[in-house]
Amino acid sequence: MIELHQFRPFWGLPNASPFCMKAETYLRFRKITYQVVPGGPRSSPTGKIPYIVDDGRVIADSEAIIAYFERRQHVHLDGELNKAQRATAFFVRELVEDRLYWQITYMRWGDPAGWAVFKPDLVKYLPMGMRGPVLFLLRGSLLKQMRQVGLDPANPEAAYAKGKPVLNALSNLLGDQPYFLGDQPRSLDMSLYAFLANIVDQPYGNPLQAHARTLANLADYCERMKALCWQDWPSA
């Protein structure tokens, strides 16, 4: 049985880590049987989750996990894409995963209003040993990294102003299509859906979520992907 090592579900989301949710969305989409092994990054060979263990073989990194299983498929998810579409998928994924990862992190750890609602729930979710000084140090390190990418806890308006153009660009890229690269879901959709769902479906509102919800085609897209891969998951 394939083991998927990742965080336990949290905050009504299948996974509060968009990278974990991406890998799991893919496994579900491909109907690959797996079992979740709940845990954190410390047990991962790369220090990051998700990773899978398949018959003793360890594969870390959401993109590497998708590539590993795609190699075994008769029809590849991205097989029909032309070179320009593949290049678009590559650049969009790289940019969105970087920018929205920090926006999602900021919504929870950086924005003082977000931290006020995130912290109490996080403390209950974390193992005892991570609740006190460890959590304090972890947040300190994240705040430093957020400042380095221009997301200042003292200025949420300016921080979210960096995330909104990413959502606008995604909305424009999607347009009237059901999926980002046309009529069929591709590997890019596993990533973009997981990142968008972590914004649209998180339980407490913030300016980035409010903006995402005004972009009707992105909201419809999330519903479409949810119906495809997470139908059994309760609505936010």
How far apart, in Å, are the Cα atoms of 233 and each of 9, 25, 57, 105, 112?
Answer: 11, 12, 29, 23, 29
Nearer Cβ to ligand GSH (27/215): 27
Cα(7)–Cα(196) distance, rounded to whole angstroms?
18
Pattern 210-229, ligand GSH, x by CB under 6 A? --------------------
Cα(59)–Cα(163) distance, rounded to whole angstroms?
31
Burial class (CB in 10 A: 0-12, 13-18, 19+), 140: exposed
Say if CB 16 and CB 10 are below 8 A apart: yes
Nearer Cβ to ligand GSH (13/166): 13
Total of chain residues touching ligand GSH, rule CB under 6 A:
10
Contacts with 210 (C-beta within 8 Å, 6 or more apart), sequence order: none
Among 27, 49, 59, 196, indicate the residue that binds ligand GSH (CB under 6 A).
49
Task: List residues bridging with 6 in a β-sheet.
Answer: 38
**Nearest distance, CB of residue 22 and ligand GSH, angstroms:** 7
Q: How far is CA 5 from the centre of its chain?
A: 15
Cα(191)–Cα(21) distance, rounded to whole angstroms?
8
Among 30, 48, 119, 131, indicate the residue that binds ligand GSH (CB under 6 A).
48
Query: Binding to ligand GSH (CB under 6 A): which residues in 6-45?
Result: 17, 19, 41
Pattern 55-94, ligand GSH, x by CB under 6 A? ------xxx-------------------------------
Residue 106 is a binding residue for ligand GSH (CB under 6 A): no
> The tokens of 111 are what?
């924005």
Nearer Cβ to ligand GSH (6/206): 6
Binding site for ligand GSH (CB under 6 A): 17, 19, 41, 47-50, 61-63
